[in-house]
A = this chain, B = another copy of it.
C-alpha cells in the first residue's frame, strides 16, 4: 500500500472503522439467510483480514502471536477446555 501513500490514512482508529465496515460486508452475504456464495464470502473475509493485518502492523504486534496469546488466556480462564481431553476431573463443569 506504501506505493499509494495511503498509509497516512491508516491510523489505528481508521483501521478499526474499516474492519467494522468490511465485517458488515461479510455479514451482508448472510443478510437474509444462512446460504451464501462461498467465493464471495472468502473475498469479503479477505478484506476483513487485510485491515486486521494492517492494524496489527500499526500496533507492532504479530497477528498469529496475539491469537495464540488470547487463546492461552481463554484456556486459563476456562480450564475445562483442556480438562475435557486430559482428565475426567472437571467433567461436570458447566460450560
**Interface of A toward B, CB cutoff 8 Å:** 1, 3-6, 9, 11-14, 16-21, 23-34, 36, 38, 41-43, 45-50, 52-53, 55-56, 59, 61, 63, 66-67, 69-71, 78, 80-82, 84-85, 95
Majority-rule SS of A interface residues? helix
Of the candidates B12, B21, B24, B56, the one whose C-beta lies within 8 Å of that of A34 is B12
Tell me whether A4 and B95 are in contact (CB under 8 A).
Answer: yes
Given contacts A16-B41, A27-B16, contact A3 B34 (CB under 8 A): no
State A19–B45 Cα separation when bound (angstroms): 9
A78 to B: closest C-beta gap in Å: 8
Contacts of A47 in B (CB 8 A): 70
